[in-house]
Structure 1
Amino acid sequence: MSTNNFRLRFSLLLRYPIYTRLIQMCSLVTYSDMYSVITKEIMKTNSPSKLDKLIHSHVKELFVAQADRPAALKDISLNRLSPFQRALLVADGTVTRFIEAYKLIPVEVVLLYQARRTVHNEHSWLKLQEGGNIIAREVVLQTPCTEFQTPKIHAYAVSQIVYERLPHNVVDGVESGIDGLGALLHHSQLEARRDLLWWGIERATGMPSSLAHFEGRPLLCRTYRIVANGNPLMLITEKFPLDDS
């Protein structure tokens, strides 16, 4: 098992009592010793196939509405994704910061589109009645353009934001189009949670003109909503190029 794969599986196994106890037993030894002990324990108690099933089952539990995902989304084995992509899939925090930390590169948020809209049908995931108001927003996360390189796109995000449920300073930040939503929520100190809804693979269609080169290419997608005080604040779909691993 490679170091990267072990680290991912190790982080997931922390949620299971048998491995938590084992880690506690190893708390006074070096990382190298702990790695060796836990690897032996995994090999002794789980075949690779059983361990993979355990991880797949855990990821499945994280996404609470997988059965309701759009028909365009298809399944893909987690084994075919890189550790970076698997971590993106379940990330519970600012995606921009995660990409920066993982790849050790600066990432900027570039606004493609933003406008206020009225929903014409009841929106169950946002708990919004017909006639409710939202901000529709599309951004890309990319490395900045420099003299020596063109921007590399790491994510394309589409958001529906119920701005009337947000603090005024967050709405002002959204409408400025400078910062990402995760950073705005973090700086506002608003207590909110992310509900992971569904994920899958899709072929890019109907992309904005600036992303036309992605048309027809496979994208790893996930959708989640951000909730505070029992009310959904926004519904966000993020799409990641499969060749960015």
Structure 2
Amino acid sequence: MTQGSVLELIQQIENESCVLTKPERALLITDGSVTRLLEAFINAPVGVKTIQQNIVPASEKIAEYLEILPGEDVNFREVYLYNKNNDRLLIRAISYAPLKHLPPGAMTRLMNEDEPIGFIMRDEKMESRREILSIQKKLLPSECQIPNKRTCHCLSRSYRIIHNSRPIFYIEEQIPSSLFIDDSTVRVVTPSRLHIGLLDMNGSGGRVDGGAGITLKDPGFIIEISESDTFSLTSQEPGVSYQVQPILEKLIANGLSIPPVHIDIQQSIPFHYGLGSGTQAALGIAAGIGVFSEQNMSADELIAISGRGGTSGIGTRAFFMGGFLVDAGHRFGPGRKKDSFAPSALSSGAGPAPLVGRYDIPNDWNFVLAIPEGFAEIHGQFEHDVFQTFCPVPQHEVQALSHILLMKLIPSVVEEDLEQFGEAINEFQNYGFKKCELRLQPPVIREIMDAMIDAGAAGAGMSSFGPVVYGVCDSHMNAVRSAAQKIMNQENGGRTICTKGKNNGAEIERNGYKLQINH
């Protein structure tokens, strides 16, 4: 199995189950000593406990893996790798070794000592390579459950060790899903979102806001919430804790009860760039705290606590269900849900906008994000003032956007027509509130969009207030990425991200189990 095939299998596991930890990925993909990796991850010595060991005739399957005849003698061994400091059991492994291929010294140590196979081969100076055969996530058979662990799932891989051009070991390893997550830890992985544009910022028809957006796999927040004696908030990236602190204060003000926990932001969405960081952070923390403290909160309750969704409902729906999303805004006028033009952060009383359409994003569409540096952040009072300055927008432009949305943007997603989707995105930039948002940014934003299209993107736009620019393409991803990077390098710099649409919402895991939030 090639390195690329192994990575594809890991991606498949993550798509179908949950995002793996970095140690889990490393253990699945390594072609070196598993014992040494474990010692590095747990910062403790690892021992081997032999459960059973016998000389058995090779089955047809094992014989094929070891390139011997069925019925030939092989050494069968079942072991647990454990933490020597606390006796915690880590990984279950079974191995088959053909007697006729093993050097005498290696065979003696294998039969008589509780030692890792890698250590035996090292000491016996046996040059070797590992060939990975399979990787999967599966139920752990009841008779194979590791004591004192509640999880019944495991990550499993099988591989061969090749010495002198022939297989000398066939090994299967089972890694409990909760090995690197404490029982009391909740892990939340959020998507991000592109906001294509607000639809009706005129309001004369009795509704306001509305619009469309796209859920993205990357970037996203990875938030871990664990038990602690006192509350603490940390982040792996500089400045993120500072940005999250006011979000946390708003959650508390809106009624979220936070017990003594440690919240660690391991990965984040850039703040105030147009990717929905505030909404995803608020909902990710609120949902994680709800699971940690065993509060059964619904999606509507979480949205209310987050204080988000009062203008656009795209970010909140992206968190819960993913996909290409269309919402219908809010009733507008005196005594209705909204009586003034204002951003989501200042419109929490309006409640979530009704969802009127949700569609799967085609898997072969690529989204290239250009995240330029050195641009003014549009949020807070400045954002509020922008709404007051530019609204209401002309009614005929609202009608033009409505036509693009209904007759081009939505059908292009349903029919997986990338060319028409790109045309719709391009046209959206020229009308209504999106045109106003683009006016606030310098000309280089338009230059990045044009460069992406010239390089092969079907369409390009600015998400929300920006400054993030996105291009959608299929086979020209590298060219689109390079074109955007070249323009940014001529200014203040920046970075690009290549990602896909995400057709499901945030992933929440506790004790190895992926949990669902009703939406």
SS of the residue aligned with 1:171? helix
Structure 1 position 102, deviation (Å):
2.1
1:169 aligns with 105
Q: In the alignment, what sits opposite 1:12?
A: none
CA contact (8 A) 1:222 1:237 kept: yes
Q: Hey, what does 1:133 align to over in structure 2?
A: 73
TM-fit CA distance, 1:212 = 5.3
Separation (CA, whole Å) in 2 of partners of 1:163 and 1:237: 18
Q: Match of 1:17?
A: none
Take 1:143 and 1:225, find their aligned partners in 2: how far apart are those partners?
25
Q: Which residue of 1 aligns with 2:90?
A: 154
Q: 2-side partners of 1:206 and 1:235: how far apart?
A: 23
User: What is the TM-score normalised by the length of structure 2?
Assistant: 0.32
* Cα distance, 1:131–1:100 mapped onto 2, change above 3 Å: same
3-state secondary structure, aligned to 1:125: helix
Q: Which amino acid aligns with 1:207?
A: E
**Are residue 77 (structure 1) and residue 77 (structure 2) matched?**
no
Contact 1:63/1:197 (<8 A) preserved: no
Amino acid in the other structure paired with 2:171: I
Per-residue deviation, residues 48-89 of structure 1 (Å, max 9, x unmatched):
xxxxxxxxxx8543489x7xxxxxxxx511771000100111
2:1 is the counterpart of 1:61: no
Q: Provide the C-alpha distance between the structure 1 equivalents of 2:42 and 2:58, rounded to a whole number of angstroms.
A: 38
Secondary structure of 1:169 counterpart: helix
Which residue among 135, 140, 154 is the counterpart of 1:219? 154
Pairwise CA RMSD: 2.6
> TM-score if structure 1 supplies the norm length?
0.65
Q: How does 1:82-101 map to 2 (within 5 A)?
A: 82-101=21-40
- The answer for the alignment partner of 2:83 in structure 1 is 143
Task: Supply the distance in 1 between the matched residues of 2:75 and 2:42 (Cα, whole angstroms).
Answer: 31
Q: Which amino acid aligns with 1:121?
A: E
Q: Secondary structure at the match of 1:161?
A: strand
Q: 1:192 aligns with which of 121, 128, 146?
A: 128
**Of 115, 119, 129, which residue of structure 1 is paired with 2:58?**
119
* Change in 2 beyond 3 A, CA 1:107/1:156: same
CA offset at residue 177 of structure 1?
A: 2.8
Q: Give, in angstroms, the shift of residue 152 of structure 1.
A: 1.3
**Residue in structure 2 matched with residue 22 of structure 1 by the alignment:** none
In the other structure, the counterpart of 2:171 is 236
User: Would you say the 8 A contact 1:142–1:154 is kept in 2?
Assistant: yes
- The offset of 1:103, in angstroms, is 1.8
Q: Which amino acid aligns with 2:130?
A: R
SS in structure 1 opposite 2:65?
coil
SS in 1 for 2:38: helix
CA contact (8 A) 1:160 1:235 kept: yes
Map 1:3-42; keep pairs closer than 5 Å.
none
Structure 1 consecutive aligned stretches of length 4 or more whose deviation exceeds 6 Å:
none
Distance 1:240 1:102, change over 3 A: same
Q: How big is the shift at 1:214? A: 5.2
Alpha-carbon distance in 2 for matches of 1:103, 1:188: 27
SS across alignment from 2:179: coil
- Tell me the CA shift for residue 215 of structure 1: 7.7
Whole-angstrom CA distance in 2 between matches of 1:168 and 1:119? 20
Q: Are the aligned partners of 2:151 and 2:178 in contact in 1 as well (CA < 8 Å)?
A: no
1:122-176 per-residue CA deviation (whole Å, 9 max, x = no partner) reads 621111112211000000011126xxx5x21110001111121011000011011
> CA 1:120 to 1:158, structure 2 compared with 1: closer, same or farther past 3 Å?
closer
| Aligned match of 1:109 | 48
Quote the offset at 1:91 in angstroms: 1.4
Q: Secondary structure at the match of 1:244?
A: coil
Return the index of the structure with the highest Cα Rg. Answer: 2
Q: Compared with structure 1, are the counterparts of its residues 128 and 183 closer, same or farther at alpha carbon in structure 2 (3 Å cutoff)?
A: same
Q: Are the counterparts in 2 of residues 126 and 234 from structure 1 also a CA contact under 8 Å?
A: yes
Counterpart residue number, 1:205:
141
Using the alignment, how far apart are the partners of 2:3 and 2:14 within structure 1?
Answer: 11
Which runs of 5 or more structure 2 residues have no equivalent in the other structure? Answer: 181-519
Measured in 1, the distance between the counterparts of 2:122 and 2:58 equals 27
Unaligned runs of 5+ in 1: 1-57, 67-74
CA distance in 2, matches of 1:165, 1:80: 39
Q: Percent identity?
A: 24
Name the structure, 1 or 2, with higher relative contact order (CA <8 Å, separation 6+): 1
Structure 1 CA distance for aligned equivalents of residues 7 and 128 of structure 2: 17
Q: Does residue 115 of structure 2 align to residue 179 of structure 1?
A: yes
**Offset from partner CA, 1:19-59 (integer Å, 9 cap, x none):** xxxxxxxxxxxxxxxxxxxxxxxxxxxxxxxxxxxxxxx85
Contact 1:63 1:196 survives alignment (8 Å): no
> In the alignment, which residue of structure 1 is the partner of 2:387?
none
